[in-house]
Amino acid sequence: MPLFSGPPKRAELANEPKELVDALGGELGDIAHSEEALARATAMATGERSATFSQLLVRHASCFGWRWTEAFAVLDRGTLRLFRSPASSSPYRTLQVRECECKVGEREACKTDSYCFRLQHAAGRATFCALNSKQLLLWLQALQAGGVKYEETPTTLVGVSSLFELRANLLSGEPVELSTYAGCVCLVVNAASK
């Protein structure tokens, strides 16, 4: 059985999720196919409130290992609220994202072609999968506007005399020793993939 076999059946918003979405101006519309809906959602994600909302897949630990569950998530002014459904009366988890570090891309815990990101916090970490690339982009924009840190630990270069003594990560996140390319003509480019 696939992890996720298509768009979820559209559940109606109710209770606290509906109140939060209404306070943000209501439903976004079809962001995947409507430029107007995407422009409105982008303005909300990058604006003063740094807000977005959608269904997400969330990876949880269980007694049988890891499992994926659907959640309705709302990010507003740096506070992420996770609801078990779009009609829940209260969130099951609330997190201040200003205290988080974000890692983006295909996580080892995700399926190929999933649109995943990980939030790392002093209290733990969580992996999320957006349902499409535009939704992922909105989440990343809102998280950044909400104060998530995207910095990586700087590489210490003391005692390094050659590029080939370093290592880097491929876009897939897999580490690679640059010594592999010794003797080759190399062009080093910061692709800004995050």
Q: What is the pLDDT of residues 158-187, one digit of tens each?
A: 788 888 888 887 767 788 888 888 888 887
Work out the number of other CB atoms within 10 angstroms of the CB of residue 16. 17
* 158 part of a folded domain: no
* Tens-place pLDDT, residues 59-86: 877 677 778 889 999 999 989 999 999 9
Query: Closest Cα partner for 56 from 26, 77, 86, 97?
Result: 86
Q: What is the per-residue pLDDT for 88?
A: 94
Who's near 55: CB < 8 A, 6+ residues apart? 8, 70, 71, 72, 73, 86, 131
Mean pLDDT of 28-48: 92
Mean pLDDT of 96-101: 81
Q: What is the per-residue pLDDT for 194?
A: 47
* 185 part of a folded domain: no
Q: pLDDT > 70: what percent of the chain?
A: 84
Higher model confidence: residue 117 or residue 172? 117
Q: What is the per-residue pLDDT for 192?
A: 56
* 159 part of a folded domain: no
Beta bridge partners of 82: 73, 93
* 10 part of a folded domain: no
Q: How many domains does the chain have?
A: 1
Query: Residues 74, 143: contact at Cβ < 8 Å?
Result: no
Q: Which domain holds residue 19?
A: 15-145
- The three-state secondary structure class of 117 is strand
Distances (CA, A) of 96 to 34, 79, 172, 193: 31, 5, 28, 25
pLDDT at 40 over 50: yes
Mean pLDDT of 30-58: 92
pLDDT at 126 over 70: yes
Q: Where is average pLDDT lowest: 4-13, 18-27, 123-132? A: 4-13
Q: How much is the mean pLDDT over the chain?
A: 82
Mean pLDDT of 14-43: 92
Mean pLDDT of 130-151: 86
Give the angle subtended at the CA of 143 by the CAs of 142 and 144, to the nearest 5°.
90
Q: What is the per-residue pLDDT for 1?
A: 43
Q: What is the per-residue pLDDT for 92?
A: 93
Check which CATH number belongs to the domain holding 23 and give it: 2.30.29.30
* 109 part of a folded domain: yes
Q: What is the pTM of this model?
A: 0.70
